Structure formats: C-alpha cells, structure tokens
C-alpha cells in the first residue's frame, strides 16, 4: 500500500538538531569518499541508527532543487527601484526568472509572485531567499511551490 508523501519547507531553527547533524554527516561523506558512516556520525555526535533512520528523508533545500522551479510570494513596498533590487539578487545567484506577476499596490504594498528556474550554477537557494527577505521594503517572503 503506497503512502501519500508530503514535503515541507521549514527554516533551520524549526528542524530538530539530530536532523541537522544527519545533513552534516551526509555532507562529510560526500566530501571525503574514504570516510566511513561511523566516522562521520561520530564527528557529528549522532548514532549510526539515527543517520540511517533519517538519511533519505532530510536534505538541504538547495541540494534537491537544481533543474527545478520554485515559486516565491513576496510582499513588497511600492517604492521605485525595489523590484529592480530584488531581481538583481536573483541575477546574482544565477537563477533564471520564468514569470513575474505583481498585484496593484494596496496601502503601499504589492504582492509579487516570482517563478524561478534553479540552474546548475545557481548559488545557495536558501541564502538567495534570505537576501531577498533582508532587503529594505520586503515585508514577507514565502516559498509557495517547488516543481
């Protein structure tokens, strides 16, 4: 019987420490082909059973996104040049913009739906989203979909 699989995108502060350590152990194993699972888990301070239990279910968001599309919803202040700054961040990370839709601003705030293709040379997606969210005049940013 096939189970319905659901995926969630959460910020790292909401992820239990053991899962973060599993991701780190996987990174160590990828970086050092000679390292054993026992060595990687010892270095990260987790048990091998925890590693094997979660290794196929946790991964950094950007690792699985290459060649895929994401859609962001962004609440943005209606200020000249702010959309240009936002798009410059996307360009800086070498992502390809597929669509942009902006609502008419209400009370000085517009909603932008931005669909982005993640390419092979796209930088760290998490950092890109954080950098967009830290721009002056960005009120909220959410990842709506990942295809």
Tell me how far apart the alpha carbons of residues 82 and 123 are, in angstroms, rounded to a whole number.
22
The pLDDT, as a whole number, for residue 2 is: 47
CB 139 within 8 A of CB 77: yes
pLDDT confidence of residue 81: 94
| Strand 109-117, strand 69-77: pairing | antiparallel
**pTM for this model (two decimals):** 0.61
Q: What integer pLDDT is reported at residue 1 of this predicted model?
A: 40
Domains of the chain: 12-59 (no CATH), 64-146 (3.30.70.260)
Note the pLDDT of residue 125.
82
Q: What is the pLDDT along the chain (147 residues), one digit of tens a residue?
A: 445 656 677 777 888 999 999 989 988 888 887 889 999 999 999 999 999 999 878 877 655 555 678 899 999 999 999 999 999 999 999 999 999 999 999 999 999 999 998 888 887 888 888 899 999 999 999 888 766
In DSSP terms, 76 is beta-bridged to: 110, 138
Whether 115 contacts 71, CB under 8 Å: yes
- Identify the H or E element spanning 74: strand 69-77
**114/97 Cα distance (integer angstroms):** 7
Angle ∠(133,138,144) on CA atoms, nearest 5: 60
């Amino acid at each position: 019987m096939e189970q319905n699989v659901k995926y969630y995108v959460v910020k790292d502060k909401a992820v239990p420490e053991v899962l973060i350590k599993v991701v780190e152990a996987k990174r160590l194993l990828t970086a050092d082909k000679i390292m054993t699972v026992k060595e990687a888990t010892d270095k990260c301070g987790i048990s091998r059973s925890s590693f094997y239990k979660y290794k196929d279910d946790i991964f950094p968001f950007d690792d699985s996104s290459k060649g895929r599309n994401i859609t962001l919803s962004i609440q943005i202040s209606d200020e000249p040049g702010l959309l240009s700054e936002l798009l410059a961040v996307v360009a800086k990370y070498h992502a390809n913009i597929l669509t942009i839709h902006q609502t008419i601003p209400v009370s000085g705030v517009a909603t932008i739906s931005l669909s982005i293709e993640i390419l092979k040379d796209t930088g760290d997606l998490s950092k890109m989203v954080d950098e967009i969210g830290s721009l002056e005049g960005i009120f909220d940013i959410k990842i709506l979909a990942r295809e």
